[in-house]
Structure 1
Amino acid sequence: MTTANIISIGTSKGIRIPKNIIEHFGFDKVSLEILKDGLLIKPLKTSKISSWDTKKLRELAKNDKSDLIDDFATCDVEQKDWEW
């Protein structure tokens, strides 16, 4: 069993999860479940792209036959007259 101390994080409290445990499960988010006798922390599976990351999108597009990424990259949204 691994133990962790309760620490102050700003005006909140938290625990530090040891790096080897995080690497073992490969997570960056967890779900917390309140049980009768404690707290269950479970790793959440997240997508490889958690936000609009152009570099990651370009890497994924290397094997993609569509030209959606190129169209997006060349689009100049500031120069276009928008109609609502």
Structure 2
Amino acid sequence: MELNNRVVVITGGGSGIGEALAHAAHAEGARHVVVADLHGAEASRVAAAIGGTGVAVDVRDEAAVRRLVEDTEAAHGPIDLFVSN
């Protein structure tokens, strides 16, 4: 998928594969990457490294995921790629 000028959300993005995906999305030209993780400090660390947004989210909480989507779309427009890692 072409990521240039796209909005990307990655859950579990605070470490490991999710962190690597966040860096890859940024390297591929994503307009904005939202890094979501249960551990907000880790999400923020990764996001700061790529100029994205870090968010603490527990994906087991449906309302929290709904807020993640709504807040992302309000701030950056439609989500082009949502990675559930």
- TM-score scaled by structure 1? 0.22
Between Structure 1 and Structure 2, whose CA radius of gyration is higher? 1
**Relative contact order, higher structure (CA 8 A, sep 6+):** 2
Query: Which of the pair is proportionally richer in helix?
Result: 2
- TM-score scaled by structure 2? 0.22
